[in-house]
Amino acid sequence: MKVRIGFAKFDRMRFLGHLDVMRFFQHAIARAGLPVAYSAGFHPHMILSFAQPLALSVSSDGEYFDVELTEDLEAQEIKERLQGTMCDGFAITDAYVLPQQEPNTKKQTGMSLIAGALYLLEETESYQGQLLAAATALAAAQKAVVAKPTKNGTRDVDVRSGIHALGIVSEDGAIRWLCDDDVFAVPENLTEGFGAERSRHAAHRPGALRMLFAVDAGSENNISAELLSDALSVSGGIPEGRMFSSHRMELYGLKDGHMESLLTMK
Amino acid sequence: MSSKLALSEEILLSVEKPARYIGGEINMAVKDPEKVDIRFVMCFPDVYEVGMSHLGIQILYDMFNRRPDTYCERVYSPWTDLDAIMREKHIPLFSLETQSPIKDFDFLGITLQYEMCYTNVLQVLDLAGIPLHAEDRTEDDPIVVGGGPCTYNPEPIAEFFDFFYIGEGETAYDDILDLYKENKKRGGTRKDFLRQVSHIQGMYVPSLYEVTYKEDGTIASFAPVAEDVPAKILKQVVTDLDTCVYPDKQLLPFLKVVQDRVVLELQRGCTRGCRFCQAGMIYRPTRERSVEHLCAIARNLLNTSGQDEMNLSSLSSSDFSGLPELVYTMIDECRERHVNLSLPSLRIDSFAVDVMQKVQDVNRSSITFAPEAGTQRMRNVINKGLTEEDILSGAAKAFAAGWNKVKLYFMLGLPTETETDVAGIAELGNAIAREFYALPKEQRHGRANVTISTSYFIAKPFTPFQWMPMISKDVFLTRQRLLKATVQEQRNAKSLVYHWHDAETSELEGIFARGDRKLSRVIEEAYRRGCIYDAWTENFKYDIWKEIMDKYGVSVEFYNLRERPYDEILPWDHIDIGVRRDFLYREYERAKQELVTPNCMTKCSGCGAAVFGCGICVKPRKKADGGEA
């Protein structure tokens, strides 16, 4: 059976790269003694599929991988056994048994499903309203072009077209949306339910400005936290630098024109 | 655990592989530093991926942390990128576990695995803010202790250490730590502690010994400064490997490290007595672990790490008497767990071919031989009990089983080596390839691929060759060229590949290996002028070293190229490894006479290691194959 595991990555572990995160979970699954399926060949490896890599230093409450098991187990048991093998900075948030796939449909792995992400950005120092003005300008703009680093140089990317919603989070957790289309079902606040759950491991300094972004993600048009930061510095005329600490709250797949949380995506 | 890191996010994001500096690995010890009496930080003076691959630190880390009164943490050399940032921003070197300054610890333990790490030792001390010279340290500085193979001649770096622990770490640290605690309670000083430490077997406190030199630079006298300080320092030895500590769990790094596997140490020591090999002498007598104990350890390690590879480690695995039993037990278990089993240093015989077929991908892997020398005469000189017939029949078996890749390791510049011996290397490679083509065509897969690698022979302390001259860099390069040309002349030249080793680092390694205290200022100045990570070819600054050696009159001729007379006081003569100096000298003479000495399994040669009363010295092993191979 196929299981989707949700996990959080925070504190020191924010500095682990994607490959090392994959290695970490391979070892964790072996320590947990889960009956995992292996590939064929002389050096078989576990059949794991990880969702969108997370940039270094970004924390997250919305990471996923899919794992194939050779025996049926209760989701709760899988979650507990894996949680028992975690170290500080990693936590298992969910385990969800995926429904059997129709034999003739195209295989949908965690990675190829990804279409959207929800980011929480918090200013690292006070920009005295400059960032709020930048966010307002960005929300109102038609376009926000920034240079995205690629393998050979840079490529211009319109970040604005990839932003579906932009909200300002007040100190009590309430969200005021500056722009919003109906592609994403966005949280209502960060104090309860989904909003609270998915911002649990985000560092927060009282009084610091926080913004919420619902954006495109995945292999097609990936708007990373870093690109969002760049777009804000362009629209606000602020010199580039480390303006934000970033947190990924959730990853989404696209279904019937709407973003659906990867956890419940069928 | 506090999530506070010593480095800011900006710094972590600007350096290569920030995971080197964050700690937090699986099986890391977590304690409250406020609630222990002794804080010990263990250092491997090289980059994280190298240091984390070392079994010795894993053993001591686990052992120290079993003591409730002690918290052992780790530190590795910051890579050159972070090194520059730490200097610029005055960030003190920190431990991985609690990210606290190294200067706050009671002990800084540095393992010395190879000579080329010496400038990295100074880097660690300097970045930590600890005075480089032991004599300049105060009561506020950690006690700096060295361990590992280089401590068998620690003289070039003696001034930088408070003491050296000679021998195996499992035995005496409890006494040392107890002594430290008592001394502290009594209000004793650093000096008091070091004086008492010198009374424990194996502990060498360099400041308690005085050395004088003759005009020609050799040692005139080497003696303790007081009567209660022992003149000879006898190494520490574990007498029973089955009852001594072994970690149930090993630290599991996040990064892919050099040895990315759990390590099972089968035995310590080697019975072969190769005359160039320091490990074969300093780890005598050979002691085995029981198969039952090893299987239990292996299961523990795999359960607690989740690693997918296990390495059976030993200087000569084929000589481990329980090998077939262990391997056939573990092969099935490992397959069930999807764990790869790796067995380096196997002598290639029918058993090895059978085992390797089960654990390796025949199409992709290679088989390895270390003949070390190209002719039988030369192999007799070095006492390498491996004949051409052994090698050819081993290769033939492996070829018949489907392999076509062979790796061969040799040394150039061995004592008494002639051009015939050098050419013999190429000829041996050719003969191996010939075995492949002698197979019927339908049994061959592709073409033979024989790789010949040569390294530069370095004479090491505590070997029969400790008195021998090395060849100069120029002669070495000439022999490399000769070998290269001879390889090309071989009939099967198209199946042979020749790899060589760079000569400049080896020359310096030779100087340090048999060096004396006069070298410390050379090392210090090289460090001051920016030399670190000398073991990494891309960082090795030969010109700077050369300039400084010339400045202080340190010559290659004196340290590497001359034959030392028997009555010369060698810089390491005050260290006693059990194996006696006269035995080594007898072996030196037998080498010159091209005489082979049987290994410990066949016949005891009375080397002196029996003084420890353990291992093969008290329980000789009977080998079905008679031992010699």
Name the band, by pLDDT with cuts 50, 70 and 90, for residue B1. Answer: very low
CB pair distance less than 8 Å for B307 and A15: no
CB pair distance less than 8 Å for A30 and B254: no
Q: With 90 as the cut, is the pLDDT of residue B357 above it?
A: no
Please provide residue B171's backbone torsions phi and psi, each rounded to the nearest 5 degrees: -95, -40
Distance, in angstroms, between A42 CA and closest chain B CA? 6
3-class SS of residue B55: helix
Distance, in angstroms, between A254 CA and closest chain B CA? 32
* Distance separating alpha carbons of residues A261 and A51, to the nearest angstrom: 12
Q: With 80 as the cut, is the pLDDT of residue B613 above it?
A: yes
Q: Which of B1, B22, B361 sits opposite A42 (nearest CB)?
A: B361
Quick one: average pLDDT of B265-270? 95
Q: With 50 as the cut, is the pLDDT of residue B2 above it?
A: no
| DSSP-assigned beta bridge partners for residue B261 | none
pLDDT at A104: 59
Q: Choose among A99, A79, A74: nearest CA to A7.
A: A79
Residues of A in contact with B18 (CB under 8 A): 15, 56
pLDDT at B581: 98
Mean pLDDT, chain B, rounded, equals 94
Instruction: Give the burial class of B497: count Cβ atoms within 10 A of its Cβ; 0-12 exposed, 13-18 middle, 19 or more buried.
Output: middle
DSSP symbols for B172-229: THHHHHHHHHHHHHTT--HHHHHHHHTTSTTEE-GGGEEEEE-TTSSEEEEEESSTTS
Q: With 70 as the cut, is the pLDDT of residue A102 above it?
A: no
Please provide residue B111's backbone torsions phi and psi, each rounded to the nearest 5 degrees: -90, 135
* Distance separating alpha carbons of residues B363 and A45, to the nearest angstrom: 18
CB pair distance less than 8 Å for A11 and B26: no
Q: Which of A13, A27, A57 sits opposite B306 (nearest CB)?
A: A27
Q: What is the pLDDT of residues B378-414, one digit of tens each?
A: 999 999 988 899 999 999 999 998 899 999 999 999 9
CA B86 from centroid of its chain's CA atoms = 29
DSSP strand pairing (B287-288 vs B309-313)? unpaired
Distance, in angstroms, between B444 CA and closest chain A CA? 21
Residues of B in contact with A56 (CB under 8 A): 12-13, 18
Name the residue ranges covered by the structural domains of chain A.
2-107, 112-261
For residue B193, give the CATH number of its domain. Answer: 3.40.50.280
* Distance separating alpha carbons of residues B508 and B235, to the nearest angstrom: 26
Q: With 50 as the cut, is the pLDDT of residue B360 above it?
A: yes
Quick one: average pLDDT of B587-597? 97
Quick one: average pLDDT of B67-71? 98
Window from B92-96, B261-265, B342-346 with minimum mean pLDDT? B342-346
Distance, in angstroms, between B120 CA and closest chain A CA? 25
Quick one: average pLDDT of B135-163? 98
Per the structure, how many domains does chain B have? Answer: 1
Q: What is the pLDDT of residues A172-212, one digit of tens each?
A: 999 999 999 988 888 999 999 999 999 999 989 999 999 99
Q: Where are the beta strands (DSSP E) in B26-141?
A: 38-44, 70-76, 107-111
Q: Which residue is listed with tokens 């067995």?
A: B343
Q: Choose among B259, B292, B194, B248: nearest CA to B50.
A: B259
Contact assessment for residue B504 and residue B474, using Cβ atoms and an 8 Å cutoff = no
Q: What is the pLDDT of residues A50-89, one digit of tens each?
A: 988 999 999 999 999 999 999 999 999 999 999 999 999 9
A88 touches chain B (CB under 8 A): yes
* Distance separating alpha carbons of residues B341 and B331, to the nearest angstrom: 7
Contact assessment for residue A117 and residue A240, using Cβ atoms and an 8 Å cutoff = no
The third-level CATH classification (topology) of the domain covering A2-107 is: Alpha-Beta Plaits (3.30.70)
Window from B10-14, B395-399, B499-503 with minimum mean pLDDT? B499-503
Q: Which of A23, A31, A242 sits opposite B304 (nearest CB)?
A: A31
CB pair distance less than 8 Å for A20 and B338: no
Q: Which residue is listed with tokens 């691929």?
A: B449
pLDDT at A239: 86
pLDDT at A254: 87
Contact assessment for residue B408 and residue B369, using Cβ atoms and an 8 Å cutoff = yes
State the best of A15, A23, A88, A247 to mutate against chain B, taking most chain B CBs within 10 Å.
A15
A38 touches chain B (CB under 8 A): yes
In a domain, B204, yes or no: yes
Distance, in angstroms, between B13 CA and closest chain A CA? 7
DSSP strand pairing (A210-216 vs B449-456)? unpaired
Name the band, by pLDDT with cuts 50, 70 and 90, for residue A126. Answer: confident
3-state helix, strand, coil in chain A (%, to 5): 25, 35, 40
Window from A84-88, A95-99, B205-209, B553-557 with minimum mean pLDDT? A95-99
* Distance separating alpha carbons of residues B503 and B500, to the nearest angstrom: 9
B259: which DSSP letter? S
State the CB neighbour count (10 A cutoff) for residue B90. Answer: 8
Q: Which residue is listed with tokens 């880097």?
A: B123
pLDDT at B627: 41
CB pair distance less than 8 Å for B306 and A85: yes
Window from A132-141, A180-189, B557-566, B584-593 with minimum mean pLDDT? A180-189
Residues of B in contact with A26 (CB under 8 A): 306, 308
CA-nearest residue to B14 within chain A is A56
State the CB neighbour count (10 A cutoff) for residue B228. Answer: 10
* Distance separating alpha carbons of residues B223 and B339, to the nearest angstrom: 53
- Residues in contact with B86: Cβ distance below 8 Å, sequence separation at least 6, in sequence order: B78, B92, B93, B127
Window from A98-107, A126-135, A206-215, B110-119 with minimum mean pLDDT? A98-107
DSSP element (H, E) containing A82:
helix A75-83
Distance, in angstroms, between A44 CA and closest chain B CA? 7
Q: Is the ipTM of this complex over 0.90?
A: yes
Q: With 80 as the cut, is the pLDDT of residue A99 above it?
A: yes
Tell me the CA distances in angstroms from B418 to A163, B473, B494, B524, one per residue in order.
75, 16, 25, 38
- Give the highest mean pLDDT range of A251-260, B149-158, B390-399: B149-158
Q: Which of A12, A26, A27 sits opposite B5 (nearest CB)?
A: A12
Q: Residues of chain B whose C-beta is under 8 A from some C-beta in A?
A: 1, 3, 5, 9-10, 12-13, 17-19, 22-26, 28, 252, 254-256, 302-308, 337-338, 340, 361, 364
In a domain, B102, yes or no: yes
Q: With 70 as the cut, is the pLDDT of residue B492 above it?
A: yes
CA-nearest residue to A45 within chain B is B338
Residue B48 structural domain: 9-234
* Distance separating alpha carbons of residues B315 and B259, to the nearest angstrom: 16
Q: What is the pLDDT of residues B239-252, one digit of tens each?
A: 999 999 889 888 99
CB pairs under 8 A between A and B: 75
B481: which DSSP letter? H
CB pair distance less than 8 Å for A56 and B18: yes
Quick one: average pLDDT of B39-57? 96
Contact assessment for residue A70 and residue A35, using Cβ atoms and an 8 Å cutoff = yes
DSSP symbols for B563-578: PPPTTSBPTTTTEE-S
DSSP element (H, E) containing B421:
helix B419-437
Q: Which structure tokens are listed for B234?
A: 């006898």
Residues of A in contact with B28 (CB under 8 A): 87
* Distance separating alpha carbons of residues B451 and B431, to the nearest angstrom: 13
Please provide residue B370's backbone torsions phi and psi, each rounded to the nearest 5 degrees: -120, 75
CB pair distance less than 8 Å for B308 and A20: no
In a domain, B136, yes or no: yes
Q: Where are the beta strands (DSSP E) in B362-442?
A: 367-372, 405-412
- Give the highest mean pLDDT range of A14-28, A29-43, A243-257, B349-363: A14-28
* Distance separating alpha carbons of residues B348 and B393, to the nearest angstrom: 9
CA-nearest residue to A87 within chain B is B26
Q: Choose among B169, B159, B221, B229: nearest CA to B194.
A: B229
Q: Which residue is listed with tokens 């954006």?
A: A215
A12 touches chain B (CB under 8 A): yes
Residues of B in contact with A23 (CB under 8 A): 254, 256
* Distance separating alpha carbons of residues B598 and B616, to the nearest angstrom: 14
Residues of B in contact with A242 (CB under 8 A): 9-10, 13
In a domain, B65, yes or no: yes
Q: With 60 as the cut, is the pLDDT of residue A266 above it?
A: no
Residue, of B129 and B317, whose pLDDT is higher: B129
DSSP element (H, E) containing B505:
helix B503-513
Contact assessment for residue B275 and residue B591, using Cβ atoms and an 8 Å cutoff = yes
Q: Which of A27, A29, A57 sits opposite B305 (nearest CB)?
A: A27
Name the band, by pLDDT with cuts 50, 70 and 90, for residue B351. Answer: confident
State the best of A12, A16, A34, A201 to mutate against chain B, taking most chain B CBs within 10 Å.
A12
Q: Which of B23, B307, B364 sits opposite A27 (nearest CB)?
A: B307
In a domain, B454, yes or no: no
Residues of A in contact with B262 (CB under 8 A): none
* Distance separating alpha carbons of residues B251 and B22, to the nearest angstrom: 14
Q: Which structure tokens are listed for B53?
A: 């691959």
